[in-house]
A and B are shown apart, each in its own frame.
Chain A
Amino acid sequence: MSYGPIRERLRRGEVLILDGAIGTEILRRDLTWADHQVLSRPTVVRAIHEDYVKAGADVISTNTFQLTRRALFNHFRDEAHRRHIGAPDLDDRADRLLRAAVDLALEARAAVSGGRPVAVAGAITTLEWCFRPDLAPTPAQARPEYRETIGALAKAGCDLVLIETVNSIAEAQVAVEAANEIGLPCWVSFVPDEHGKLFSGESMAEASRTLASLGPDALLVNCAPPEDARAGLRELAAARSGPIGIYPHIGRFDPPEWRFTDEYPPARYVEEARGWLGLGAQILGGCCGTTPAHIAALCRDLWSGVPGPRSELSTPSDSGPRTPDCS
């Protein structure tokens, strides 16, 4: 297991770099993302993971966003209808794709980490759509599904689970409980709105309070524009003494794809990230629209101030990460 050194570094208050986007990076490499591509184009997916490891990421996440049985079954009215008109392998397709996706991340780490401790985080998100808390299943419905998917990620060899783009406290709680039962360390990341609240309308403070007793190792915000993510981070920082993190998206959601913009080239992304350090973020990465170049820039330049003017908030000597209080 490669999570031990990562957890230790979190406890020491060190800054960790998470990887960048997988799904939009697949699109950027001129493939559709309809199937996560883990079976159809494994070399492309593995190469993306390798690029993030080579860029210097301490934690890479699996290409498993929204990859569940429910996501496949949702395309049918019910089981009878699925059996009548659906592809014959749908019962266990999610499980096969999950295993293949984790394998690709593990293979990438083995190939290019050079012995550097890199953790593989199994990514899981809300069971319905990440931006639609109104569609969320009840906790009773969600519980066995989280157990199933997190169980599959654990069995396939993930070091931790990254429960990401979460839109309500209730779903986060069910997911963390499932991870705890399975015995996999977990990080939880919420999608914040412009005011730094969860999409359910709940506050980061409530989320932090509710999850405290369940002990996720870190709380983060992701999949919002940098300014919204910063608002969410600020709320988390005010509410929580343990490790917090941030990985915003850049560009525009252009369903079913992503529109890449030049608003946040790597150098500007690094400048933005210095502000996150100033707010106490200990885990920094990127969501949709970010690339290995963004992660490489974070790893290379975050402390050096090489690209462009340095933010006054965020030199490591004066306002680096707080010493976290990890009990």
Chain B
Amino acid sequence: MLRLRYGTAHARVMSAYEVVRGALGRGGPIVLGGPMGTELVRRGVRWRGHGMLTDSDAVRTLYLEYLAAGADLIRTNTFQLNRRIYLDVFRDAAHMRHIGAPGLAQRASELTRRAVELAREARVRSGREGVAIAGVMSPLEHCFRPDLAPPAHEAEAEHRELASVLAEAGVDLILLESMNTLTEARGAARAGRETGLPLWASFVLSPDGRVLGGEPLAEAAAAMRDLGAEAVLVNCVPPVDVGPALETLVPGGPAGAFPHLGKLDPPSWKLEFFPRFCQTDEWPPERLAMAAAEWLSRGARIIGSCCGSGPAHTRALSPRSEVRGPRPSRSGLEMRSQPNPPAPFPKGKGELLNSHPLPFREEGWGVRL
């Protein structure tokens, strides 16, 4: 049915998110596609221009693999992509023009459009037109440095620019990811809603369970729902932090989580989010699936995984992956760096998880096209 309606962008856009919204209303679960950055880097993509100028095939392939793994929603390769990531390494705009490569002022917008275009191409190729494409927006400065967050008025204006590029490029909803202060999240949420697209908001937390910038998570979640967010999530926190966060989020409305796996392994030369995580083999897909079962039992409606995970994790979370035929190859890319086959399930390391039956093995679980 959806395939027949794919003639007009508007009909398709509405239908893609309507599928997700319907599932959300029924209690989910909705499975998110995994991360782009860490998985591209793990596959050997040299991290420049988010891979989209030099390795667009790899980007499209990874989207396709998340689609084949059964994701109900895929996230654009736009995390930490905004004009500040270029401007910040120059004294000012004049200096950037003076010694920088031509076109840096427009680079972020161009890459953002390309990220959406590649996601849409992948969706068409996958034949899964009912999958929603979430346009990812994130803190304008480093996601783990709330102290660097710009003043509210600057942040809102810049998020408005990003949101409009995403909307024009054809995403189905706006997903605020790894938001680290409530102030910036508010500005980004208003900017996102102004596009007329649905909005989800996700926060990164500090070890004590607050938003990384210090605000209580409950307050942040309530603020996002007031501004029109249809779901509130946490992401880029270790899986062990998800349970307590859900206790806070679930009573307020649709909630979810997509934690990172492993440990942030930052670069040694520059303050720029370089997507690399180590020790990810401590979280093979089976272990993540067991953890996710517990999150669902706590009321999560949206589950997924963030940095450090890959299509195998998405597949382990998805009820639809088992009926969708052969598994895709690990992409045509040669694994040049840190080949990371999922380690055997670490026996004895699952104590923190309970032994809930795995809901994704039950009939009727998940969304249907």
Contact = CB atoms under 8 A, between A and B. Distances in A.
A81 B180 CA distance: 13
A87 interface: yes
Contacts of B286: none
A132 B88 CA distance: 8
B347 interface: no
A85 interface: yes
A121 to B, nearest CB: 18
Contacts of A36: 268-269
A256 B64 CA distance: 27
A191 to B, nearest CB: 9
B40 to A, nearest CB: 12
A75, A76, A84, A86 pick with most chain B CB within 10 angstroms: A75
Contact of A255 (B85, B206, B263): B85
A32 interface: yes
A84 B269 contact: no
Nearest to A259: B101
A224 interface: yes
Contact of A86 (B100, B142, B206, B264): B264
B276 interface: yes
Interface string B289-305: 00000000000000000
Contacts of A275: none
Nearest to B236: A85
Interface string B275-286: 010110000000
B206 A77 contact: yes
B244 interface: no
A193 B92 CA distance: 12
B268 A34 contact: yes
Contact of A252 (B47, B101, B237): B101
A254 interface: yes
B99 A256 contact: no
Interface in B73-117: 85-86, 88-91, 95, 98-102, 104
A67 B268 CA distance: 6
Contacts of B342: none
Given A77-B146, A81-B144, A87 B46 contact: no
A204 B147 CA distance: 33
A236 interface: no
Interface in A49-100: 65-67, 71-72, 74-77, 80-81, 84-88, 90, 93-94, 97
B263 A88 contact: yes
Interface residues of B, number: 42
A257 B269 CA distance: 12
B145 interface: yes
A129 interface: yes
Contact of B264 (A35, A87, A129, A256): A87
A106 B47 CA distance: 30
A97 B207 contact: no
A276 interface: no
A33 interface: yes
B260 A85 contact: yes
Given A80-B207, A87-B263, 10 more contacts: A34-B268, A65-B269, A72-B268, A76-B264, A86-B263, A97-B268, A129-B88, A225-B99, A249-B99, A252-B100
Q: Which 8 A-B pairs have the closest CB atoms?
A: A254-B101, A75-B266, A34-B267, A84-B207, A252-B101, A87-B265, A259-B101, A66-B269
Interface of B: 46-48, 85-86, 88-91, 95, 98-102, 104, 142, 144-147, 206-207, 212, 237-238, 260, 263-274, 276, 278-279
